[in-house]
Structure 1
Amino acid sequence: MTNIGPGTPALIDLQTPDEDASVQFYSALFGWTIDAQNPSGYRYARTDKGAIIAGIRAAYGEATPAWTLYLAADDIAETAQGATVQGGSILHGPVNVPGQGGVLIFAEPTGAITGFSQPEPGYEFASHTPGTFAWAELLTADGKADDFYSALTGASVTQLGDGEHYDYTIWTPAGQQVPVVGRLRTDAPAGWRVYFAVDPDVGTDKVVEIAAALGAATLTEPNDIPAGRIAILADPTGAEFALLTPTPRK
């Protein structure tokens, strides 16, 4: 489970034009158990102990199918004010969601849709086990996103690569030693890429085969990076996501 401190991932959710298709796909791929719709039309995938893995919700209008990352906040109202001051545009909230806590969704200055969550007591976010959240990176053409999120969360930013040919940064929440999010400069539309952990006994290549049989498209074939073996896919509705079989820690 994630230690949900400020700036730490607290939730991921999928906006989809076809909830039933998305529920069927991810349940088959990762073995998720997914709640029936709650009164707001939202569904949660949960572990057998009740921790939240992800949310699934209907896309608004013609919104592009996509995964969204929510970072934890100590004070959701203060975060909303800060996001506005820093150039973000509030899209939803802040509101209180029973079973989760305060929630805020906004468009940040580089164009990505991002959420913040103020978890209520007892809330648990499942991560770093097979089929759950492993990593997320912000895809954006504008490195100023680093300053925006650092100002909101107090996270420190570390540059990887030369910042020109390869511009990747990692964000480490205040008081922590391990980075939790990355930012990659790309010409693609701004948005989040969410990685799901893969069981090393199964491996990324096998999960890609299973996903393809379920209707997913492979955008980037399995390949090795320092963090592990990854692949980038698009689910049957077109939402992009990634897989990561982590490199064993020495």
Structure 2
Amino acid sequence: MGQPVAWFEIAVKDGAKSRQFYADLFDWKLNYVEQMNYAMIDTGGEGIPGGIGTAGDGRTSGVLIYVVVDDINAALKKVGSLGGKTEVKPYEIPGTGHLAVFSDVEGNRMGLWQRV
């Protein structure tokens, strides 16, 4: 069985404008966490959860999906062996899991998520 997608993230330059755009477009309810400058997306029960965050200095705007893996370090090792590159080393989201970001052989960015 393949690995499921756990989360999606939209990185934007203008957070307030983009949050309003997506809330209006898709009727998403957004829970904005000011100290993180990040909005958790509630799609209404169907689909996968996600978030909208500001692309800070050095970050690219765009959409990332996060795929669940059992071992994030082993997955990144496999990324490298297949010609991809680690972009963001694994780090912990306290109490929930670890995430990392890689680029594939075409330069597309993807995320990895290891649950606690």
* Shorter-normalised TM range: 0.7 to 0.9
- Measure how far apart 1:190 and its partner are: 2.4
User: In structure 1, which of residues 131, 136, 160 is the aligned counterpart of residue 3 of structure 2?
Assistant: 131
**Which has a greater percent of strand?**
2
User: In structure 2, which of residues 62, 69, 76 is the aligned counterpart of residue 191 of structure 1?
Assistant: 62
Q: Does 1:235 align with 2:108?
A: no
CA contact (8 A) 2:102 2:110 kept: yes
Which protein is bigger by CA-based radius of gyration? 1
- Measure how far apart 1:161 and its partner are: 3.9
Root mean square deviation, CA, Å: 2.1
5+ residue gaps, structure 2 = none
CA deviation profile, 1:83-138 (whole Å, cap 9, x unmatched): xxxxxxxxxxxxxxxxxxxxxxxxxxxxxxxxxxxxxxxxxxxxxxx522111100
CA contact (8 A) 1:171 1:179 kept: no
Q: Does 1:168 align with 2:48?
A: no
CA deviation profile, 1:14-37 (whole Å, cap 9, x unmatched): xxxxxxxxxxxxxxxxxxxxxxxx
CA contact (8 A) 1:222 1:231 kept: yes
Q: Does 1:151 align with 2:59?
A: no
Q: Does 1:218 align with 2:86?
A: yes
Superposition map of 1:36-55 within 5 A: none
5+ residue gaps, structure 1 = 1-46, 48-129
Superposition map of 1:81-160 within 5 A: 131-143=3-15, 144-160=17-33
**C-alpha separation between the residues in 2 aligned to 1:195 and 1:179?**
10
CA contact (8 A) 1:198 1:204 kept: yes
Q: Which secondary structure state, in structure 1, belongs to the residue aligned with residue 74 of structure 2?
A: helix
- Measure how far apart 1:149 and its partner are: 1.1
**C-alpha separation between the residues in 1 aligned to 2:48 and 2:74?**
28
Relative to 1, partners in 2 of residues 1:231 and 1:207: Cα closer, same or farther, differing over 3 Å? same
Amino acid at match of 1:138: I
Q: Which secondary structure state, in structure 2, belongs to the residue aligned with residue 208 of structure 1?
A: helix
Superposition map of 1:193-212 within 5 A: 193-199=64-70, 203-212=71-80
**Which has a greater percent of helix?**
2
**C-alpha separation between the residues in 2 aligned to 1:182 and 1:246?**
17
CA contact (8 A) 1:222 1:230 kept: yes
CA contact (8 A) 2:97 2:113 kept: yes
User: Percent same amino acid among aligned pairs?
Assistant: 23
- Runs of 4 or more consecutive aligned structure 1 residues displaced over 4 Å after TM superposition: none
- Provide the residue aligned with 1:92 in structure 2: none
Aligned length, in residue pairs: 112
Amino acid at match of 2:100: A
**C-alpha separation between the residues in 2 aligned to 1:180 and 1:172?**
6
CA contact (8 A) 1:170 1:179 kept: no
Amino acid at match of 2:5: F
Amino acid at match of 1:173: T
